[in-house]
Structure 1
């Protein structure tokens, strides 16, 4: 059954986002929408939800269709509510009392502890806030569910809950998901739309298989374009030769043949279309100045504890060596962030290094946290660069433009940048720091898939030494070469991440 019929839809804001989009959403569809940062995914979801208007085209909805929409941003008024009240408030006034049982059942399904339900959303982690917004959207069991970046801020346990909950929905319930999480898209979708400025292809396949089909189609289009342009060139060369012969011989037949060849060349050139070239949302490049030291950090039974001295775990004897790309994982609250903070402090101030941590003096740290706390929303991109590095204004502007921050945005407050732009600015700052060791906490947050792949390529091509905290399974699999797990108050090394992934998704 068709629920949504999108016909020739186009949206233009400051620039065209997409055009001539034709798409049908039917019962049972689990549709993933993939595009670079700022290319219209959220706009398309808002258009489907009816909260935004397209520039051209139509969206025809089934009669009586109800929609649940989970946006990225949380209204300030909702942030002040308890988690339970935030979900209950989504019920119409006449149902809030009589059908509050819906809230209890849904929060049970999403594995929300009773203690969390009483806390305000502002007191909860970003992951629980996301699940609360999902509950608000679903509490009335709409006919269609729209999810905008639903895995943002979720740890693996939260992603596992979300994947399991989506799998438990009726098979007829359509879900449309805009996401950059490749593993999540593979797990929960059966169709993939690649949103493009022109001609947005859609495949009845989950992300990875759809991406392979798209790459094949783009390669075929490029070969066809090159062949057509080569043929057109040959036709024009033949026409030029025949034209000369025809003029010299006075042959009307050769002159006619010349016109026919030129006409064929004109038609080929007019219909030939080059393969799609994705406009970059901003380059991601890293630096690695290298070091002669083989052992960069030594952990000698260091104790990781909370600020009130509650012991979380002990590291045992561990070494971080040049070329290591160590992925650190464990459940929330086990001490990942504390260990990262201790390593950061030891590298930045070796004289007061925490007990049990020894760093080589030649280390230059590149640090990035998921909240981008090093970037003040009141600063501007220009002030960040010229204030921290010896750069002229023109050089700074060129670097910012290369990172996807255009001239109009370079002098505006960072708070006005998108999450993707801020993430790319953070990566640019890391690059200019010219480190030889990276500490990266959720580095793929806010990065689109092209950005994630670029970051992976940079870490691998520079043979960067780093420790990573990430819940992005694809990123972990592609980048990590060592894996440390916090388990039962100990730091252990495991061969690969698959057992840990399985343990999170089996519960």
Structure 2
């Protein structure tokens, strides 16, 4: 390949560096497909013809023949070496010289950029055609050719393609790469024919904590999954743990499940047992086993294996596994608690890269505060998707923002990012407006003196100047999210009341709470907080008359109609249809325009309403669930953790919609931003009691932090 490069340089001395890098990458990746001179000409010949117009087709064919003679003896060795690192389609058209790309990316002033004269001699359409042709070849070779599909969102699988630099390839093959920094260069992610991310560059520096934010459905969770499944390539020596699936329930104790997540320690302990058994049995291998046993003890001591049970217990306790809960079998826990176990295993095993997707969804405020403090001392790299603004202000050192098929990096926490992004958008808008004004002024001069012979040189000079200016795009701001709950008729009080209510689980002696006295009106904005398992969901079901109180009475207005939202409601959606079809099933007999209007009130518009629900993100599914819920016209909303999977902008919109809603609202949530927006009355459900607390959320947080210090 080096000889081919020299040949091309010698034959075409005026070749632009970017075009040269492109040709080099084409030859490097297409060697297996090249069998004849015509194949070489098809790959690079047309581009070379455009570069050197004075050369004839025979001249180009002669060069192509020389390239073929140089390529074929080395083809097998070279291609295999490259393919060892590239398991996904490669962006052949985007493989340009590092220096050329950096020069373009780092140019900050709109007035200093210029185009390259040699590049202007190339027919851009032919160059793009050649790129597409080679990309198709590579896709066929990798067995990942995209097949036509009548539904452009029909594919259920996301795919990634990525450029890996030669430097990274050499470092991986040599085995000498000890850096734990992660560079994801020039990668694309698509879902069917829908492009989620195009040409993104992300660097994760070791020891930094990255918050990953952006609107629902843009690909945050998909990026985490692509990294964990190695579809996006990172160095093989970096360990990754993605907290996504809950722990499988079996007879393993909770604390043992956490301890076993440290694979090295677990393997050494098993080997220790095996060696002790061999020594006790005696025989020929006893002496070797004794020698190896000493080494095992040294390795266990080096990793502080003796302290592991205590460390695992601390993590479990922080996540709410108190007392004998740590000794219980994993199969006795619900799905939410098994997700906590998965998080505990991840924290205990300390991977080089920890991937967390909405870790606060399953946690109460006590556990959230503990997790924030624990992650603040984390030594390796974290990439966390979260929509909890308080969590994003406490944990991340950097923010990754996904938008417009790009990913931008910002230093600082979420508040720092928000302030910086606003200022950046203002600066970009000013720069765009300034250039538009400048272009307008120059164009007026050109139009005025275009046919004036005396001013012809000045006109030509200004035309060239306009050509050299980069074409800036107008600043595109993300559309504002607006949610709207239906209007309701007023009901005269009393609306809803609990008097001296107690509840004990059937066939048990466990009392969840007792002597509860609460009332709600159509103007109520009541928020319920408390640790997991304290009985918040049970209280909601008593309010809706799904559970009958063991003692006391429940009183409700005869026309009261509840709208009950839970995460289970989202999980029960029919995933095999699109949102419009789902609304047709729920509310038959209406026009399609009416279904779209109902969905549009919750931001499910355009193509999103026609996508298969399975292909929607968690937050988008929640919006569909809200549309179904409100289609039944409730006049009192009971919302149990409604913010799970909603993006920050949608949570803000939900808060504004609840403020404007004319019916009553009772909300269970631990999202501090939403609680501060909506809450007019705070109920605490804890330790067998339910009571109203003065001072709101701030006072409750202080109470929780004080209890954590005392414990």
Rounded to whole Å, the distance in 1 between the matches of 2:628 and 2:550 is 25
Deviation at 1:438, TM superposition (A): 1.0
Report what 1:74 is aligned to: 246
Report what 1:388 is aligned to: 586
Find 1:222's aligned residue among 429, 432, 445.
Answer: 429
Q: 3-state DSSP class of the match of 1:312?
A: strand
Rounded to whole Å, the distance in 2 between the matches of 1:185 and 1:386 is 39
Deviation at 1:214, TM superposition (A): 1.1
Rounded to whole Å, the distance in 2 between the matches of 1:374 and 1:5 is 35
Rounded to whole Å, the distance in 2 between the matches of 1:149 and 1:33 is 10
Rounded to whole Å, the distance in 2 between the matches of 1:293 and 1:487 is 32
Q: 3-state DSSP class of the match of 1:94?
A: helix
1:52 equivalent to 2:52? Answer no
Report what 1:94 is aligned to: 267
Report what 1:182 is aligned to: 389
1:450 equivalent to 2:645? Answer no
**Measured at CA, do residues 358 and 3 of structure 1 come closer, stay the same or move farther in structure 2, by a change above 3 Å?**
same
Gaps of 5+ in 2: 1-178, 273-299
Q: How does 1:125-144 map to 2 (within 5 A)?
A: 125-144=334-353
Rounded to whole Å, the distance in 1 between the matches of 2:514 and 2:701 is 23
Report what 1:209 is aligned to: 416
Find 1:273's aligned residue among 470, 473, 485.
Answer: 473
1:37 equivalent to 2:37? Answer no
Q: How does 1:406-485 map to 2 (within 5 A)?
A: 417-462=616-661, 465-485=664-684
Answer yes or no: is the 8 Å Cα contact 2:498–2:554 preserved in 1. Answer: yes
Q: 3-state DSSP class of the match of 1:301?
A: strand
**Measured at CA, do residues 300 and 87 of structure 1 come closer, stay the same or move farther in structure 2, by a change above 3 Å?**
closer
Q: Which moved more, 1:311-320 or 1:259-268?
A: 259-268
Rounded to whole Å, the distance in 1 between the matches of 2:443 and 2:332 is 71
Rounded to whole Å, the distance in 1 between the matches of 2:355 and 2:638 is 34
Answer yes or no: is the 8 Å Cα contact 1:155–1:332 preserved in 2. Answer: yes
Q: 3-state DSSP class of the match of 2:181?
A: strand
Q: How does 1:324-403 map to 2 (within 5 A)?
A: 324-345=524-545, 356-372=553-569, 375-377=572-574, 380=577, 381-382=579-580, 384-389=582-587, 390-393=589-592, 395-396=594-595, 399-400=598-599, 403=603
**Measured at CA, do residues 316 and 451 of structure 1 come closer, stay the same or move farther in structure 2, by a change above 3 Å?**
same
Rounded to whole Å, the distance in 2 between the matches of 1:122 and 1:253 is 90
Rounded to whole Å, the distance in 1 between the matches of 2:349 and 2:243 is 17
- Identify the structure with the greater strand proportion: 1
Deviation at 1:260, TM superposition (A): 5.2
Answer yes or no: is the 8 Å Cα contact 1:192–1:203 preserved in 2. Answer: yes
Rounded to whole Å, the distance in 2 between the matches of 1:121 and 1:406 is 44
Q: Deviations over 1:331-354 (max 9, x none)?
A: 2232211221122228x99xx999
**Measured at CA, do residues 114 and 28 of structure 1 come closer, stay the same or move farther in structure 2, by a change above 3 Å?**
same
Deviation at 1:29, TM superposition (A): 0.9
Size of the aligned set, in residue pairs, is 484
Find 1:150's aligned residue among 340, 353, 359.
Answer: 359
Rounded to whole Å, the distance in 1 between the matches of 2:308 and 2:180 is 29
Deviation at 1:197, TM superposition (A): 4.0
Q: Deviations over 1:4-53 (max 9, x none)?
A: 2333333233322223333333343111111223322233334444x232
Q: Deviations over 1:251-297 (max 9, x none)?
A: 313455555556656666x52222243378x8643223241536532
Q: 3-state DSSP class of the match of 2:568?
A: coil
**Measured at CA, do residues 388 and 16 of structure 1 come closer, stay the same or move farther in structure 2, by a change above 3 Å?**
closer
Report what 2:25 is aligned to: none
**Measured at CA, do residues 74 and 441 of structure 1 come closer, stay the same or move farther in structure 2, by a change above 3 Å?**
same
Answer yes or no: is the 8 Å Cα contact 2:209–2:396 preserved in 1. Answer: yes
Report what 1:106 is aligned to: 311
Report what 2:35 is aligned to: none
Find 2:453's aligned residue among 246, 252, 269.
Answer: 252
| TM-score in terms of structure 1 length | 0.82
**Measured at CA, do residues 419 and 198 of structure 1 come closer, stay the same or move farther in structure 2, by a change above 3 Å?**
closer
Report what 2:40 is aligned to: none
Gaps of 5+ in 1: none
Q: Of the two structures, which has the highest relative contact order with CA contacts closer than 8 Å and spacing of 6 or more?
A: 1
Q: 3-state DSSP class of the match of 1:500?
A: helix
Q: Deviations over 1:84-126 (max 9, x none)?
A: 4433443256235356756523321211345333444453244
Rounded to whole Å, the distance in 2 between the matches of 1:155 and 1:48 is 28
Rounded to whole Å, the distance in 2 between the matches of 1:73 and 1:40 is 18
Answer yes or no: is the 8 Å Cα contact 1:285–1:428 preserved in 2. Answer: no
Answer yes or no: is the 8 Å Cα contact 1:443–1:470 preserved in 2. Answer: yes
Q: Deviations over 1:131-159 (max 9, x none)?
A: 32133334443333222222221122222
**Measured at CA, do residues 85 and 207 of structure 1 come closer, stay the same or move farther in structure 2, by a change above 3 Å?**
same
RMSD: 3.6
Rounded to whole Å, the distance in 2 between the matches of 1:178 and 1:286 is 28
Rounded to whole Å, the distance in 2 between the matches of 1:88 and 1:2 is 25
Answer yes or no: is the 8 Å Cα contact 1:485–1:494 preserved in 2. Answer: no
| TM-score in terms of structure 2 length | 0.60
Q: 3-state DSSP class of the match of 2:625?
A: helix
**Measured at CA, do residues 258 and 288 of structure 1 come closer, stay the same or move farther in structure 2, by a change above 3 Å?**
farther
1:486 equivalent to 2:685? Answer yes
Q: 3-state DSSP class of the match of 1:117?
A: helix
Rounded to whole Å, the distance in 1 between the matches of 2:659 and 2:461 is 54
